[in-house]
């Protein structure tokens, strides 16, 4: 169950990272509230997951999911550069997240 919560926390991290763009410096109320809720939910779920998972693994997976999601969504939502090198390094992030899961022993 901790892994499921951690994955949801990582997806919420992706959501709040993308949400920051829509808040326009926290000047837009609805995107700002939704982003704040995603931040709080993400942190809460990370803290619950880290009760049973090693914190180094949990934090690394959480950050990795968030960075990977923000990188991919940045390309599709905001027209950010979609270079082969960017996809290569996003792939490395995915390998790192899976590697942390597989090697966690949890």
pLDDT in tens, 38-48: 999 999 999 99
Helix axis angle, 55-78 relative to 2-23, nearest 10°?
Answer: 40
First to last CA, the chain: 11
pLDDT attached to residue 64: 95
Given its phi and psi angles, is residue 81 left (phi above 0), alpha (psi -120 to 50 degrees) or beta?
Answer: beta
Is-contact 46 58, C-beta < 8 A? Answer: yes
pLDDT attached to residue 66: 96
pLDDT attached to residue 106: 58
Q: Which residue has the tokens 């997240």?
A: 97
> In terms of Cα–Cα distance, which of 15, 1, 6 is closest to 57?
6
């Amino acid at each position: 169950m901790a892994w499921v919560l951690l994955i949801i926390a990582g997806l919420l991290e992706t959501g709040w990272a993308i949400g920051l763009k829509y808040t326009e410096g926290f000047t837009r109320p609805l995107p700002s509230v939704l982003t704040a809720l995603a931040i709080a939910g993400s942190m809460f779920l990370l803290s619950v997951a880290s009760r049973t998972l090693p914190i180094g693994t949990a934090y690394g997976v959480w950050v990795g999911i968030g960075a990977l999601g923000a990188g991919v969504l940045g390309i599709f939502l905001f027209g950010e550069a979609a270079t082969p090198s960017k996809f290569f390094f996003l792939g490395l992030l995915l390998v790192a997240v899976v590697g942390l899961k597989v090697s966690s022993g949890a």
